[in-house]
Amino acid sequence: MPYRRLITLSVFCVALAIASSPAGAVLVDVEVRAVVTVVDDVGGVLGGAIVVDDDLVASLTYETSVSDVFDADPTIGLYGQPVPPGAFEVEVAGFTLGTSISTYSLIVYDDSPVFGGHDVLSLLQEAFSYPFPGIAGVTIVSVTINMVDESSTAFSDDGIPAGPPSHLDFPNNRMLSINGCADTGLDGNFCTSEKFRIGAEINFVPEPATGAAAALLGLLVLRGGRERSVRRR
């Protein structure tokens, strides 16, 4: 299944996953730290407000007991996250993005042909465009996280992570991307012109005492009756 087709289908399926989420589920809070490595803004839509080497922090909360939309496919687990109790925000260069979203998806690819048989952990917030806070006339159409393991050993199945796998399990690519355009280049929830893209490389430093047990995306807190665990950068 082509990746674009999968994204489109996930938008229609996310309501099903949300409706299937039981009460009393465990919530996982994650903090992602990254550095901006690419700002592709030929038309100057952002006006230089975000530049290479800016620090970026993404905070998300996901629910571990939501249903897999693609349950029949053992290579893809798509877990729609309602907001709240889920949450997803990005802070970069003094801007806070994502405060108005109502859903996002956490996707686990286990030996998936979508990514050439690799293991990939993805976060996808797309098809719900919203204004870029603090920059007039600009819209965000997607924010994504992709962490890639080309050895295909990061996952043993497509289940949602109940605890934090090590960032060392994803050595090949760890990127967060923000995509959008000027309002004049927007057609519904899609950009047709005057586009921009911000790319940030996610970087981690494992906690010295635990090494491979360091958090999935930086600093992690487990709630819902479990002992709170904090991983420091």
Closest CA to 149 of 163, 166, 161: 166
Predicted pLDDT of residue 24: 53
The Cα 198–Cα 164 span in angstroms is: 26
Strands (E), 5-75: 27-40, 55-63
16 class by beta-carbon count within 10 Å (0-12 exposed, 13-18 middle, 19+ buried): exposed
In angstroms, the CA 25 to CA 28 distance is 10
Q: Identify the pLDDT of residue 164.
A: 64
Residue 204: pLDDT band with limits 50, 70, 90: low
pLDDT given at position 127: 61
Instruction: Write down the pLDDT at residue 19.
Output: 39
Whether the CB-CB separation of 122 and 112 falls below 8 Å is answered with no
Mean pLDDT for all residues in the chain: 79
Query: Do residues 36 and 51 lie in contact, with contact meaning Cβ atoms separated by under 8 Å?
Result: yes
pLDDT tens for 14-71 read: 333 433 444 556 898 888 889 999 999 999 999 999 999 999 999 888 999 999 999 9
How far is 216 from 230, CA to CA, in rounded Å? Answer: 12
The ranges assigned to domains in the chain are 3-222
Q: What is the pLDDT of residue 126?
A: 72
Calculate what percentage of the chain has a pLDDT beyond 70.
Answer: 74
Q: Do residues 206 and 166 make contact, with C-beta atoms less than 8 angstroms apart?
A: yes
pLDDT at 102: 84
CA distance 38 to 29: 27
Closest CA to 140 of 83, 187, 98, 80: 98
pLDDT single digits (tens) 159-187: 998 866 667 788 889 999 999 999 999 99
Which residues on neighbouring strands pair with residue 201, listed in sequence order?
Answer: 35, 175
Q: At 102, list the tokens.
A: 């109502």
Q: What is the mean pLDDT of residues 206-211?
A: 34
Question: Do residues 218 and 32 lie in contact, with contact meaning Cβ atoms separated by under 8 Å?
Answer: yes
The answer to whether residues 50 and 93 touch, using CB atoms and an 8 Å cutoff, is: yes
pLDDT band at 141 (very low <50, low <70, confident <90, very high): very high
Amino acid at 114: V
